[in-house]
Amino acid sequence: MTTSSVYPDPTTLTDWRRDFHRHPEIAFEEHRTSARIVEILDEHDIDYVAGLGGGTGVVATINGRHGAGRSIGLRADIDALPIDELNDVDYRSTTPGRMHACGHDGHTTMLLGAACALARDPDFAGTVHLIFQPAEESEGGGRVMVEEGLFERFPMEAVYGLHNWPGLAVGEAAVHDGAVMASFDVFTLRLTGRGCHAAMPHLGTDVVLAACQLVNQLQGLVSRETPPHESAVLSVTQFHAGDAYNVLPETVELRGTVRTFDADLKARLEQRFRDAIDATAGFHGLKAEFDYQTRYPATINSPVHAARCAEVLEALPAIDRVHRDLAPSMGSEDFAFMLEQCPGAYVWLGNGDSAALHNPAYDFNDAIAPFGVAYWQALTRQLLSA
C-alpha cells in the first residue's frame, strides 16, 4: 500500500491535523476539538456518542457488513499541553500557553482517517469502537472513561492504542510484549520548623538543610535499594523555600514524581520514602506533611495482543521495520487504565528526527498519518475477519 492509496487522502489528513494543531485545548476543555471530531464523523455518516469522559470524549461505532462477530476498541487521545509553542509554522498554535506538543493532534487525525476508511468499506464481521479520549496529560481521562462505564456501554474483547515516537525512524514501529510505559505517582512534602535570622541558625531549625539532605538520601532508594535489573525513577522536580536573603524560612515544600513498572516495587519505594521523611524530620525536629498520590498505573501489553499488532505492522508495505526489543519508556500513559480492564496492546510509530515529546519545538510528522490510518484499518480487518 502506498500513501496515495490511503483514504482519506494524505492532503485531507494533513488539513485535519493542522486544524487541530492550530486550536489546542487542554484536559477536559477539548470542546472545539470534540465538536470538530463530531463534524467529520457526521460528514461520513458514522454513528457516535459524544459528551463522554467528563464531557468532551467521543466514541464512534462501525459495524461490519458481514454481520455479528467480535468487538474491539481503537483509542486516540485528543488533548494538548499547557506549553507556549516555539515552532514558526503557518499552523502554529493560536492559543497562548497551549500547544499540541505530544502529537495528540496526529493521533486524533489517524483515528478519524481510519473511521472514515472503515465506514466506507466495512469489510469485516463484528464491531469496532473508535475511542476519542480527553485529558491524557496527567488528568486521567482514560480513568474517567473507564469509571463512566466505557467497557459496559461499548463492550469489546480487546482495546488498542498508538503513539508517535520521536527518534524512531519514519517507517519503523515498536511493539512490546509486556511493559511499555511506567506508572506515574506524584508527591508533595511540606517540612515545617522554626524560622530564624540567617546569622543565628542555632536559634531555629533549618528546613532548607534538612530538605537538601533528604533529596540526596532519596536517590539512594533507587541507586542502592532497587535491584539493578528493575527500573525506577524518583525525581524531585520542585523545591520551594524562603523569600529573603537573611531569613531561614519556617517551611520548605518539595514536589516530584515516582515511576516504576512493578506494583510491588512501587509500594516498597513509597514506604521507604516515608521512612526517610520520618527519619529526617525526627533528626531535625521538624513537622512533616506528606501527600503521595497514585496517578497512572504502568502500561502493560498483553503478549498475545502485542504479537497480533506486530504481525499487522510487519505486513504493511509502508513499515520497514518493527522493533520487538526496545526498552520501555519511563514516561506514563493513561491508556494503562483501559488495559487494566481489557486486554490489548499499545504500539509506537516512528515520528522521525523530531524534537522530543513535550518540547515547545515538537511537531507531529504529517508524513506518518497515512501509516497510522493503514495500521488501524489492517488491524481491524485482521482481528474482525469475516
pLDDT at 119: 98
- Tell me what pLDDT residue 138 has: 86
Examine the domain organization and report whether 133 and 175 are in the same domain. yes
Complete DSSP assignment for 121-148? ---SSSEEEEEEE---SSS-HHHHHHHT
Residues making up the chain, counted from first to last: 386
Name the strand (E) or helix (H) holding 222. Answer: helix 207-223
Query: What is the Cα–Cα distance from 31 to 55, expressed in whole angstroms?
Result: 8
Alpha-carbon span 59 to 52, nearest angstrom: 8
Q: At what angle do helices 303-315 and 369-383 cross, to 10 degrees?
A: 120
CB-count burial class (<10 Å; 0-12, 13-18, 19+) for 9: middle
278 and 236 assigned to the same domain = yes
152 and 96 in a common domain: yes
Q: Which of 296, 325, 355 is the last residue in one of the domains? A: 296
Number of domains in the chain: 2
> Which domain CATH number covers 29?
3.40.630.10
Q: What is the pLDDT of residue 3?
A: 41
Q: Domain check: are 134 and 33 in the same one?
A: yes
41 closest CA partner among 154, 117, 128, 135: 117
Shared domain check, 202 and 188:
yes
Is the pLDDT assigned to residue 359 strictly greater than 50? yes
**% of the chain residues with pLDDT over 90:** 97
Say if residue 50 is in the same domain as residue 136. yes
- The residue among 261, 296, 331 that closes a domain is 296
pLDDT of residue 1: 43
pLDDT digits (tens, 9 = 90+) for 80-117: 999 999 999 999 999 999 999 999 999 999 999 999 99
User: Is residue 277 domain-shared with residue 319, that is, in the same domain?
Assistant: no
Domain, as residue range, for 284: 184-296
Look up cell 495482543; give the residue: 305
Q: Cβ contacts of residue 87 below 8 Å, gap of 6+?
A: 360, 361, 363
pLDDT of residue 5: 56
| Same domain membership, residue 68 and residue 202 | no
Do 188 and 304 share a domain, yes or no?
no
Integer Rg of the chain from CA: 23
**Per-residue model confidence (pLDDT) at position 206:** 97
- Model pLDDT for residues 314-350, shown as the tens digit of each residue: 999 999 999 999 999 999 999 999 999 999 999 999 9
274 and 318 within one domain: no
CATH number of the domain at 274, please: 3.30.70.360
Q: What local confidence, expressed as pLDDT, does residue 2 receive?
A: 43
The residue from 296, 315, 344 where one domain ends is 296
pTM across the whole model: 0.94
When pLDDT is cut at 50, 70 and 90, the band that residue 74 belongs to is: very high
CA atoms within 13 A on the CB side of 187: 24
215-239 mean pLDDT:
96
What average pLDDT does the segment 272-292 reach? 98
Assess whether 161 and 219 both reside in one domain: no
Residues 169 and 21 both lie in one domain = yes
